[in-house]
Amino acid sequence: MAAIEAAIVGVDLKQQEAEFADLFQQHRLRAYHYALQMLGNSDDALDVMQEAFLRLHRHWRRRDPSRPFLPWMYSVVRNLAIDLLRKRSTRRECELEAAPETAPAANPETDSARRQLSARLWSEIQRLPAPQREVLLLRDWHGLSYADIASATGLSVTTVNSRLHDARTRLRERLRRYL
């Protein structure tokens, strides 16, 4: 009987490990890019991504299954990145790793114009206040819902909504002549 129970526990653990490995494969780039967008540096982003998944793995078996994985992952990455920013005291704004590269379009002229607009947009996004930039990227780049952003950042949905509105309004004012 004990052998059967041990075998069941063993199979369950294996399944959980496989499930976690799948999640790592699926979301490692999301975590990396979120850290990159917060820190502006690729090496730091890789360190944070690695540490975040290590922490997620540590709590994986005791996690609350009703809580979706993504907001949890984003909140762990966010906390680690904030810790690092506090230690470093500044965000490195202009590292090349964060330079946007748009996908090639069929028409080279359109492609070039879009590339320029995209680069200008990224430069304006970097000029946004950090709380607005974070919410904007979580919504528009990572595709999180307001509820998931609120869960990942510890903000209320109303604050998420208001920061997003302010960020977009500011971007629109600065980019209006290019749109």
Partner 1 sequence: MNPAGRHEHIERLLSAYLDDELTQAEAQRVEVHLEACEPCRTALRELREIQQLTAGIEFRRPPEAVLEAIERRLSVRAARWSGWALVMIGLAAWIAYGLIFALRHPRWPTIPELLAGLVLIGLALVFVSVLRQRLLERRHDRYRRVSK
Q: Which residues sit at the interface with partner 1, rule CB under 8 A?
A: 21, 24, 28-29, 32-33, 36-37, 42, 46, 49-50, 53-54, 57-58, 84, 87-89, 97-103, 114, 117-118, 121-122, 125, 136-137, 139-141, 143, 145-146, 161, 164-165, 168-169, 171-172, 175-176, 179
The least CB distance from residue 155 to partner 1, in Å, is: 14
**Helical (H) or strand (E) element with 115:** helix 108-127
The least CB distance from residue 2 to partner 1, in Å, is: 19
**Dist CA 50 CA 46 (whole Å):** 6
Tokens of 8: 């069941």
- By C-alpha distance, which of 26, 137, 133 is closest to 73? 26
Q: Of 74 and 146, which CB lies nearer to partner 1 in the complex structure?
A: 146
Q: Of 68 and 143, which CB lies nearer to partner 1 in the complex structure?
A: 143
**First vs last C-alpha separation in the chain:** 70
Q: Of 84 and 152, which CB lies nearer to partner 1 in the complex structure?
A: 84
Characterise 143 by phi-psi region: left (phi > 0), alpha (psi -120 to 50), beta (else).
left
Q: Of 67 and 169, which CB lies nearer to partner 1 in the complex structure?
A: 169
Task: Say which amino acid occupies 89.
Answer: S
The least CB distance from residue 133 to partner 1, in Å, is: 11
The least CB distance from residue 94 to partner 1, in Å, is: 14
**Helical (H) or strand (E) element with 80:** helix 69-88
HSE (CB half, 13 Å, CA atoms) of 147?
2
The least CB distance from residue 114 to partner 1, in Å, is: 8
Q: Of 75 and 117, which CB lies nearer to partner 1 in the complex structure?
A: 117
**Dist CA 91 CA 81 (whole Å):** 10
